[in-house]
Structure 1
Amino acid sequence: MSTPNSALRAVRMGLLMSQDDFARAIREAGTRAGQPNDANKRLVQRWEAGTTAAPRPVYARALEAVTGLPIESLGFAPVPMARVSDDGHGGHDLVDSPTGVPVANGAPAPQTAPRGNHTGVWLSRYEFVSSGRGNDVFVGLHHVVLLQHGNRLTGRSLPNASVNPDSPLTLDLQIEGNVVTGTWTEQTATEGYYRGARYFGALQMIVEPTGRRMAGKWAGFGKDHDVNTGPWELRFLDADTGKATLDRYNRPPEA
């Protein structure tokens, strides 16, 4: 049996696109690039169902153009090891993190959020120190769509749901008992302080018994190859992932 591509589905839902909308955007991206394609709803369904595990190059390039993410972050291949940042900033400026971080075993299973899993809309909140801005502490807030398939959790922020505009966040996590471990990716705004840089980090959290909050820390490398860490939490907001609900949360979270 094929494994559903929950990463791609989460990204599509985070963009507030139906499968038809997504296929149309892929066709339009191909046309703009001078590489037309025949993407349709059925093809998107095959990708998300996992029956087509590797898109042809013409589709891969269009997928990257539409989502703003490399094809490896869309569930089609393992995410490669990142490189150390050279953008001259520290603190949250993290780019290296190992994938496939070991997950603790034997922890008791938590009581989960409604519907028996963690699928839904969550508030993501993390803190970081920016050495380039006087070591001040900053907070990153996003409304994130989290999808669960088996023990894998895939998350994507909604397009207008960040306190920093145009800074989409992607989560690739694994849950074992009450321990959540994985990686995150954030594409910073082109006009922002970090000039459109793309950052990576590792993340590990504990799920509270209610299943409505996960809390832990991120870790990664800074500009001087030192390891930086900071708190990160996810708070459950809504189990529904329908369009009306996603539209309601498609706004910057309140600080």
Structure 2
Amino acid sequence: MTTPNTQLRAVRMGLLMSQDDLARALRDAGTRAGEPNDASKRLVQRWESGAIVSPRPVYARALESVTGMPIEHLGFPSPVPTAHVSDDGTGGHDVAPSSTGVRPASPAARTEPSASRGPYSGVWLSRYEYFSSGRGETYTGLHYVVVLQHASRLTVRSLPGSSDSILTMDLELDGAVVTGTWTEQTASDGYYNGARYHGAIQMLIEPTGRRIAGKWLGYGKDFEINSGPWELIFQAASTSKATLEEYDRRP
């Protein structure tokens, strides 16, 4: 008997994605990260049905990038096994249910980040400033975000209850330098009527490793290039369900 992965299905549906949409997004995420994968609708179906209980690491990283959630919150065990070899000695897409039914134990609690190497996974407060030409004032955007680190890459996604808009970032670490892109989907009933904005960002990690600060670039309504300060402030190293629920609120 297999147990359906209802968590993954719920997250997919919450993102308003079909199984085909999720597979396509996983392939795109793999390409962006330099780790191409062969995600397909059939593979997503096998995950959701429980026929496959653990994705390969390349798929786990893509799933975290697309959903912005730790792999253990998607109905999979953590840590994800590093490899799988099938009975005939060939590599498989993923790990099928084991005969013992025992899943790997959860990893130990993470420590606070080090400026030189991290880990940076956890909950951070995102704060940026922007000038609204239509209102003639400077505003501050605040989100609690989940940061997930895979080697030198950071994926960032806002917690839904922390703001009416959805914020995502795709970042690359090079020592203390952080470079990447950001996207924000504004609220459909807000001032910007659901407009989607995106741009570039470059930041520096402070020696404490508890603050990452820099500047964003983006375009305005008249296609002028705008800029402003942006910072991430460390809040908690855990990405447990209880921690995410604690910060799923307005800052």
Report the TM range for the smaller structure's normalisation: 0.5 to 0.7
1:20 corresponds to 2:21: no
Alignment of 1:62-211 (within 5 A): 112=114, 116-134=118-136, 136-162=137-163, 165=164, 167-211=165-209
Q: Cα deviation per residue 1:161-181 (whole Å; 9 max; x = unaligned)? A: 12xx2x111010001010000
Please say which structure displays the higher CA radius of gyration: 2
Q: Structure 1 residue 220: deviation in Å?
A: 1.8
Q: Cα deviation per residue 1:4-33 (whole Å; 9 max; x = unaligned)? A: xxxxxxxxxxxxxxx6312245479659xx
Q: Secondary structure at the match of 1:160?
A: helix
**Does the CA-based 8 Å contact 2:125-2:234 persist in structure 1?**
yes
Q: Which residue does 1:226 correspond to in 2?
A: 224
Q: Cα deviation per residue 1:32-72 (whole Å; 9 max; x = unaligned)? A: xxx9x8433566843x73249999xxxxxxxx9xx6xxxxx
Q: Secondary structure at the match of 1:245?
A: helix
Q: Secondary structure at the match of 2:161?
A: strand
Q: Which residue does 1:88 correspond to in 2?
A: none
Distance 1:24 1:191, change over 3 A: closer
Distance 1:45 1:200, change over 3 A: farther
Q: Which residue does 2:87 correspond to in 1?
A: none
What root-mean-square deviation, in Å, do the aligned CA atoms of Structure 1 and Structure 2 show?
A: 3.3
Q: Which residue does 2:83 correspond to in 1?
A: none
What CA distance in whole angstroms lies between the structure 1 residues aligned with 2:120 and 2:201? 17
Residue identity opposite 2:191 in structure 1: Y
Q: Which residue does 1:71 correspond to in 2?
A: none
- TM-score scaled by structure 1? 0.60
Q: Which residue does 1:50 correspond to in 2?
A: 58
Residue identity opposite 2:57 in structure 1: A
Residue identity opposite 2:7 in structure 1: D
Residue segments in structure 1 that go unaligned for 5+ positions in a row? 1-18, 56-63, 68-110
Total equivalences in the alignment: 175
What CA distance in whole angstroms lies between the structure 2 residues aligned with 1:197 and 1:212? 32
Q: Identity over aligned residues, as a percent?
A: 54
Q: Which residue does 1:40 correspond to in 2?
A: 49
**Does the CA-based 8 Å contact 1:143-1:158 persist in structure 2?**
yes
**Does the CA-based 8 Å contact 1:145-1:158 persist in structure 2?**
yes
Q: Which residue does 1:81 correspond to in 2?
A: none
- TM-score scaled by structure 2? 0.61
Q: Cα deviation per residue 1:118-145 (whole Å; 9 max; x = unaligned)? A: 11100000000000112x0000000000
